[in-house]
Structure 1
């Protein structure tokens, strides 16, 4: 089960989240076209839409987007960014009770959010709001942890200083959970490369956008920042480091 403060734990992270969280590769839209029948005009429930990172991609593809987000601060950031688009609809609600009408969307997409949901309740809710034959897409940017010396050092930093890192990692949504969530035989998976290139200020913002990283003034923050400086200096090339991701896309009915 997700932690009890899941809906509010990003409220003090919004500015860093907007600036430093990774987007999604353009190929995501191609995968959704191929496997989930996405097309201009598709009605999409972007559930756990956060600051609008995935909603922006969907709007650029011509979709009508119902951005469902319970956190008011994150929702406001999305409204500032995307609210002028008439195909963007901001909805303050959780994944388990979206308030959308029965059979009102053709695709439910959850990007970097499903691991916060109650699996059984969200499954029932998605079934309710989807049209017959509609699709669900679950998307994560999965940070590589062992492919470069810097990424190994960064993972070690999180394991040392992050508060509840092991409990809230999206990797906790394993294959058994996904098999139980999707209709039997409908689950398809695709993986795309993704990356971010950071100077130290950007790396600091990326770390502090994570809800498990101690914020300024919290225990562990100062030694964590000292260690971040050390591993940056040890691994940087031309004043920057790379965070590499595998963008995992799970699609089914």
Structure 2
């Protein structure tokens, strides 16, 4: 079930800098897959909905696309604008998945990167249909931790489950189908490892909205346990965070 919209707008307040520095980028093969699957090219106009600090927007701007980065959270949007203002085809928009504030039939492809779970499926689909041109597409991108591994990733996942809010650990396997229904969906899983030091590992952990922050009594113990795991598994000061980038795309109009 999607998270409460109002809650999601405020949930990342005060976390934007950490999010921008330590969240993983998406697989470099993402655009190559889209080229093959839906004839994606640099001439398409994109709306990146729930753009956050611009991790996904940057990838498409560097591909040459015009990108309207729609973000409801002011803290996130401030970082987004600072990071991406150098790109001529970048546009920052205060809006949400339900009210994007974009013109009707102005967008070729809607991008949702690491944000679909915050959307109301019915209202968002209606809004995307409004802003998309004929033959418009939706592309959903997620970085997902590999939780079924032994060693470091297993213990890191256990740590997150231990300290994270309980509701966040419940995934929705029907998330994509709620948006795409019976339409044909093109999907790809792309391996996306991230090699980090301890500072970056700590930043990755604390960038999640559902783990304790520094003013929480649990924070100190969480970081101590994280350091123990890091000390156990690091090689020459580095740890590999094992991610897969999941890409799904579908024509909805």
Answer whether TM exceeds 0.5 for this pair. Answer: yes
Q: What corresponds to 1:243 in structure 2?
A: 241
1:182 to 180, 183, 194: 180
Give the drift of 1:173: 3.5
Superposed CA deviations along residues 6-28 of structure 1, whole A, max 9, x for unmatched, are 11111121111111110012211
1:40 to 39, 42, 54: 42
1:173 aligns with 2:175: no
Kindly indicate whether the alpha-carbon contact (under 8 Å) linking 1:183 and 1:252 is maintained by their aligned counterparts in 2. Answer: no
Q: What corresponds to 1:107 in structure 2?
A: 109
Secondary structure of 1:38's counterpart equals coil
Give the drift of 1:159: 1.3
Q: What corresponds to 2:139 in structure 1?
A: 137
CA distance in structure 2 between the partners assigned to 1:13 and 1:107 by the alignment: 28
Q: What corresponds to 1:52 in structure 2?
A: 54
Equivalence map 1:1-253=2 (5 Å): 1-3=2-4, 4-162=6-164, 164=165, 166-168=166-168, 172-174=171-173, 176-253=174-251
CA RMSD of aligned residues (A): 1.4
Q: TM-score, normalised by structure 1?
A: 0.94
Change in CA separation of 1:132 and 1:105 when aligned onto 2, cut-off 3 Å: same
Give the drift of 1:93: 0.6
Superposed CA deviations along residues 21-62 of structure 1, whole A, max 9, x for unmatched, are 100122111112222332122100000101011111111111
Kindly indicate whether the alpha-carbon contact (under 8 Å) linking 1:194 and 1:245 is maintained by their aligned counterparts in 2. Answer: yes
Give the drift of 1:149: 0.6
Q: TM-score, normalised by structure 2?
A: 0.94
* Number of equivalences: 249
Kindly indicate whether the alpha-carbon contact (under 8 Å) linking 2:53 and 2:76 is maintained by their aligned counterparts in 1. Answer: yes
Superposed CA deviations along residues 205-248 of structure 1, whole A, max 9, x for unmatched, are 11111111111011311110111111111111111211111100
CA distance in structure 1 between the partners assigned to 2:178 and 2:115 by the alignment: 18
Kindly indicate whether the alpha-carbon contact (under 8 Å) linking 1:179 and 1:187 is maintained by their aligned counterparts in 2. Answer: no
Query: 48-57 or 180-189, which moves further after superposition?
Result: 180-189
Query: 24-33 or 100-109, which moves further after superposition?
Result: 24-33
CA distance in structure 1 between the partners assigned to 2:36 and 2:116 by the alignment: 22
Kindly indicate whether the alpha-carbon contact (under 8 Å) linking 2:49 and 2:69 is maintained by their aligned counterparts in 1. Answer: yes
Give the drift of 1:84: 2.5
CA distance in structure 1 between the partners assigned to 2:187 and 2:172 by the alignment: 14
CA distance in structure 1 between the partners assigned to 2:168 and 2:111 by the alignment: 20
Give the drift of 1:250: 0.8
Gaps of 5+ in 1: none
Give the drift of 1:86: 2.1
Give the drift of 1:183: 4.9
